[in-house]
Each structure stands twice: as C-alpha cells, then as structure tokens.
C-alpha cells in the first residue's frame, strides 16, 4: 500500500492566511527549517494506479498539481483521473471543501458517515458533484468497508470508528446541547487495510482524547497518523490567538500528561506520525525545543509530499 | 489603483484536475510556452495597503501565498490581513468557494447581489464566515457602491450591472424555467473606480453576449477584463469534453462573428484583457494560431501574477 501525505496542516494550512504569530511569521518570511504545508489529506493506493483520497482539503487542486501520481494519465481518455474515491472523516471545511474542486462531471465514489453525508446534502453547493456521476455511500461504523468504484474493488478496506471529538464548528449553533451537539459519526478514525497484504494503518486527524477503547485498538499497530493540531492545550490562548483550548476544539495536545505522546508511550506503535498540525504549533520549526521533544519521544512530523510504503 | 490578477483561469483552473485534452496535457507535461494558472480572481487597492478581492476562488490560499501584498503585515496584530473586503460577481463555485478559506474569525466585508447572498445564506457551510466578524452587504445594481470596511471607505467604488449570463450550474435544477432560471443579479459585471483619481476599469469574468446596452457602456473605456472562457462556441463539443456550447454555459466565445473580439472591434477600448480562460482554450498556448489571432486583434491573455496600475 502506498500512502502520500498531500497535506499535513490543520484547517487554514501553514501558514494560515491571517496569522502573524511567531510560528506563522517564520513561514511567511521563509525562515530556514520551516516548510509551509497545505491542509490535511492523504492519498492511498493498493496498486499505485488507482487512488483513494482520505479527506478532500480546500488545497486539493494545488495538492493534485504537486503529486504526479494524481495527474490524468496521458494515455487515458479525454477526461480521466487516477482518483476513484474519497473517504471523509468529518464535515470540517478543511476536510470537505475540496470536494467542490472534484467536479466537471467526473465519476467518483464518496464515502462518509451518514452524519457527514447529511451535511453535504443540506448544502446545495455540493450538488456540483452530481448524482449522475458521484455516488455517495454511507460508511458502516465499526466494520470493514471495502472501498469500491463502479463495482470494482480498489483493494483497500476502511474500518471507521467513532473517536472522542466534536461536531464541525459551523454546525455547533444548529445542534447546540450537551457535548456541543456531537453525535455518533461526527468525527471518526479510520483503520485502513490493504486487502491483499493485510497491512494496515490508522488515520485519526481529529481526536479529543485517547480513551481506553482507543488505546486497546491502537496497541501494537505498525503505523498511526494522529491529530497533531496543538503542542499544548492552551497554546492558542497563550499566544493570544483565540480563547479556545484544544479540549474546547476537540483536539488533544501533543505534550503534557494528558497529551498524545504520553498516551502512546506504552502502546507499542511502531511508527507514529503527527498530522493535521495547526499554524500555531511550534512543532513546525525544525530544531525547536518542542520539535526535539517530539522526536525524542519517537514521533515524526508529517509534511506535504511525504510518502510511506506499507 | 493597483490591480493584481490572482487567477486567470475559469472554473477548475488550468489545467483542470481531470482534463487530458491537448491544451491541458501541454500544461501537465510542462510544455514550453504554457503556464498553469489558478481560478479567476482579482485583487485591487487604491492605496497599496488595503485590498479588495473581486471574487474568492477555490485557489485563494495558494493565491495569497503567491502575492506578498496579501500576506499579514509583520508589524501588525497577531491576526491581520490586508484583505478588507470581497466583492462577488456570481455564485459559481470558482468565485465563492474561496470564502471558506477566509475564516478564522477575521473581520471582512462581503458584497454581492441579493441573489448571490441568498445562495450563501442557504448553504450553512458558509457560516464559517460568522456574522460577528463578516458583514454581508447587498450590492445595489446600477449605482456606484462605495466599498468600505468597518465604516472606513477603501477608496474604491464598484458599480454592478446585470449582463447577459446564466445562473450557477448547481442551481439550475432548483430554478428551472425560461432562461435557465436566470434572474437579475445572477451574473453581474463591475465598473470599478478609484474615488480619488476617477480612473476606472470593467471586470466581466462571465458574459453571454455583448448586447447594445453593454456596447454603450464599455465604449471608450480604458481597461476591460473580459470573459475569455472559450475560443470558439463549440470548442468543448469538438474536443469531445462536453455536449455544451458556450452559449449554453452563458459564455460568449473569443472568436467568430458573434464573439468578443468582433464585438469589441469598434468600441475603442484602450486595453482589453481576456480572463476566466477555460482549460480547453488554445489561447493558453503561446505562439498557437489562436493566440496569434488574439494578439493581432489587440487583446491580451491574463496570467497569474500579472499587474496593472491605473
């Protein structure tokens, strides 16, 4: 299985368009050891020929341009793309807005939880993905879903499972209530398995906490892409960028006793890669104390163009 | 007045993600004399400091990154952007999807026809532009509208006027009827005037025909950015890309007796620049017969990064 990191950054990308705090400023000024990144998305393929996107970020056009494996095939038909399917993990803008760029009457199969597909159905702008061309399939939670397109199996299954999380920000008002209106399917993690080899990895770009169920699930796995939004829970507050903590936004922090690095310390996960990294996170800066702490704990920081073969 | 072309291409950009026809293929293969371009948008400023976007394309993040004048000011506050306002000419995906990237609690003023603002209101995903931060102002058609932000005039007025056009594709089904459901305000052109100098230009990224009223309006003007979607009306049909003519899509062609070059021949417009150019248009190819015909007629082809000072 081939895995390409199309975008490593959280919503807004790195640097975020209106952010002038220290880490973003380093990116705006092209400081050494700082690499701008686009918004969170992976491309995966069992055969190197047909590709599945995990989330469709607003930067998708730029990401396709930068990734030759996703260009139309020169020997293919007048309209063709190696992208056959898209799997969504939530309805956040940074994960669904790219769908609007996958138009032009192109056949695709789109997978998401019923909750996420309902959000798309309620926003008529997503009708640019016309049902004549784009089939929307609800993911069954807790079971392996074979990803297929036009009846052809793509050699990959995804098992979606609910994780502690939060409803998309722009839906909060409409679904106010306990847990910020969050219901099953609002935020999911994926276990992604290559059917032929059985090789598998986990993809959790948003996760509010590593609870007992998640610990059990991830233990001993070979590769996890995990929510690296914030280094510390109060990072945005301390930097003066927002009054929201990571907990309020549905994102665990990397560091600290309740953070991801501590939670994974005894889980025996062979390769741990932080993804969905916010513009405020000092982990972006090579050589920073935070980056060194992350690397010392055996974690990697994703970047655009990174590839993993499993 | 400063005018920066952020994106010169029509919806989908150049090359379009799934297009393998000759012109797109030249771009995918980095052929000489072919420059990829992002989707249609201009940035304008009366003072070089505060900027107004004309349309917000899906490529807006990439466009901001490529345009230093639109970066946050290093000496500004923690969150700042020179972008103060956005003016929309229709509700097409290539003109509004970029709004989703102008989030992060940033104060902006958003102008569009009532018809266009209604479309945004009907799609809850645009609530990421929260009314606490983003003020939506209906444009008054046929009158100069002073563009302002937070009560401060930005030194530029836009006069929107209806042009022969078409409703956004994804709205056609919902508003079927004569003229494809098109009503006043679905597609507008803009006369943009710098208040201090009186210098003005026209911006018409979508226009189905140059009728008598439009001829009268444009006659003798100093600069027009005009719909360059297709070179010939049947271009998509002939290339096998679609069964739609330009007329069906609400776009006049560049060439031919009913095309834009013929219509402008006796209008005495000092500078004529084609913009919103489709991935199928051979005008993209430097030195092509079509490009030479365009240049011989005194027209220019816009490209990303082009600047005009008026």
Encoded tokens for B302? 């816009």
Domain at B198, CATH number: 3.60.15.10
Chain B's closest residue to A23, CA to CA, is B78
Instruction: Please give, rounded to a whole number of angstroms, the shortest distance from the CA of B16 to a CA of chain A.
Output: 8
Determine the pLDDT at residue A175. Answer: 45
Determine the pLDDT at residue A181. Answer: 45
pLDDT in tens, B160-219: 998 887 655 455 544 434 344 455 556 789 999 999 999 999 999 999 999 999 999 999
Chain B's closest residue to A280, CA to CA, is B78
Which residues in chain B have their CB less than 8 angstroms from residue A102's CB?
A: 17
The low-confidence residues of chain B, meaning pLDDT below 70, are 166-186
Pairwise CB contact (< 8 Å): B17 & A101:
yes
Q: Residue A178 above 80 pLDDT?
A: no
Query: What does pTM read for this prediction?
Result: 0.94
Which residues in chain B have their CB less than 8 angstroms from residue A173's CB?
A: 127
Whole-angstrom Cα distance, residue B182 to residue B164? 9
Q: Is residue A76 part of a domain?
A: yes
Whole-angstrom Cα distance, residue A238 to residue B273? 48
pLDDT in tens, A214-242: 999 999 999 999 999 999 999 999 998 98
Q: Is the ipTM of this complex over 0.90?
A: yes
Determine the pLDDT at residue B305. Answer: 98
Select the more confidently predicted residue: A90 or B301. Answer: B301
Confidence of residue A185 (pLDDT cuts 50, 70, 90): low
Question: What range defines the domain where residue B130 resides?
Answer: 2-303
Which residues in chain A have their CB less than 8 angstroms from residue B100's CB?
A: 58, 93, 97
Pairwise CB contact (< 8 Å): A17 & B174:
no
Substitution target from A20, A98, A106, A167 for chain B, most B beta carbons within 10 A: A20
Determine the pLDDT at residue B253. Answer: 97
- Per-residue pLDDT, averaged over A134-142, amounts to 95
Determine the pLDDT at residue A184. Answer: 56
Determine the pLDDT at residue B250. Answer: 87
Q: Is residue B276 part of a domain?
A: yes
Encoded tokens for A209? 């906490």
Confidence of residue A86 (pLDDT cuts 50, 70, 90): very high
Q: Would you list the DSSP string of A183-211?
A: -TTSSEEEEEEETTT--EEEEES--S---
CA B142-B10-A78 angle, to 5 degrees, is 150
Q: Is residue A310 part of a domain?
A: no
Domains of chain B: total: 1
Q: Residue A172 above 70 pLDDT?
A: no
Determine the pLDDT at residue A249. Answer: 85
Which residues in chain A have their CB less than 8 angstroms from residue B61's CB?
A: 13, 17, 38-39, 58-59, 62
- Per-residue pLDDT, averaged over A50-67, amounts to 97
Q: Is residue B308 part of a domain?
A: no
Determine the pLDDT at residue B183. Answer: 52
Instruction: Give 3-state DSSP helix, strand, coil % of chain B, rounded to 5.
Output: 25, 25, 50
Whole-angstrom Cα distance, residue A18 to residue A9? 15
Confidence of residue A168 (pLDDT cuts 50, 70, 90): low
Cα distance between the two ends of chain A: 5
Cα distance between the two ends of chain B: 5
Name the nearest CA neighbour of A192 among A180, A181, A204: A204
Q: Is residue B54 part of a domain?
A: yes
Average pLDDT, chain A: 92
Q: Is residue B310 part of a domain?
A: no
pLDDT in tens, A9-41: 999 999 999 999 999 999 999 999 999 999 999
Instruction: Please give, rounded to a whole number of angstroms, the shortest distance from the CA of A127 to a CA of chain B.
Output: 6
Pairwise CB contact (< 8 Å): B241 & A79:
yes
Determine the pLDDT at residue B64. Answer: 98
Which residues in chain A have their CB less than 8 angstroms from residue B90's CB?
A: none
Confidence of residue A247 (pLDDT cuts 50, 70, 90): confident
Q: What percent of chain B has pLDDT over 90?
A: 80
From start to end of chain A, where are the E strands? Answer: 2-7, 41-45, 51-54, 83-87, 108-112, 134-138, 145-149, 152-162, 188-194, 200-204, 223-227, 271-275, 299-301, 307-309
Segment among A42-56, A133-147, A184-198 with least mean pLDDT: A184-198
Q: Is residue B309 part of a domain?
A: no
- Per-residue pLDDT, averaged over A201-224, amounts to 95
Instruction: Please give, rounded to a whole number of angstroms, the shortest distance from the CA of A212 to a CA of chain B.
Output: 33
Determine the pLDDT at residue A248. Answer: 85
Q: Residue A280 above 70 pLDDT?
A: yes
- Per-residue pLDDT, averaged over A80-106, amounts to 91
Q: Is residue A309 part of a domain?
A: no
Whole-angstrom Cα distance, residue A179 to residue A177? 6
């Amino acid at each position: 299985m081939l895995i390409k990191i199309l975008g490593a950054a959280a919503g807004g990308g790195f640097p975020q368009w209106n952010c002038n705090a220290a880490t973003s400023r380093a990116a705006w000024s092209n400081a050494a050891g700082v690499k701008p990144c686009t918004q969170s998305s992976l491309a995966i393929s069992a055969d190197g020929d047909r590709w599945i996107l995990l989330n469709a970020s607003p930067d998708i056009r730029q990401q396709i341009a930068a990734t030759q494996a996703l260009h139309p095939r020169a020997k293919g038909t007048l309209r063709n793309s190696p992208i056959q399917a898209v799997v969504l993990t939530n309805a956040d803008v940074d994960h669904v807005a790219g769908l609007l760029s996958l138009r032009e009457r192109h056949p695709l199969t789109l997978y998401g939880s019923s909750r996420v597909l309902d959000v798309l159905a309620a926003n008529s702008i997503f009708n640019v993905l016309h049902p004549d061309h784009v089939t929307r399939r609800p993911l069954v939670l807790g079971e392996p879903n074979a990803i297929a397109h036009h009846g052809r199996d793509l050699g990959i299954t995804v098992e979606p499972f609910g994780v502690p999380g939060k409803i998309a920000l722009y839906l909060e008002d409409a679904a106010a209530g306990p847990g910020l209106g969050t219901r099953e399917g609002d935020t999911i993690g994926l276990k992604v398995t290559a059917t032929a080899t059985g090789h598998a990895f986990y993809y959790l770009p948003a996760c509010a906490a590593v609870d007992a169920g998640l610990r059990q699930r991830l233990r001993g796995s070979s590769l996890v892409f995990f929510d690296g939004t914030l280094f510390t829970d109060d990072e945005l507050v301390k930097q003066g960028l927002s009054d929201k903590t990571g907990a309020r936004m549905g994102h665990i922090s990397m560091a600290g006793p309740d953070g991801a690095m501590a939670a994974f310390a005894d889980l025996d996960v062979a390769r741990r890669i932080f993804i969905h990294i916010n513009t405020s996170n000092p982990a972006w800066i090579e050589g920073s104390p935070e980056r060194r702490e992350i690397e010392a704990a055996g974690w990697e920081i994703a970047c655009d163009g990174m590839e993993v073969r499993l």
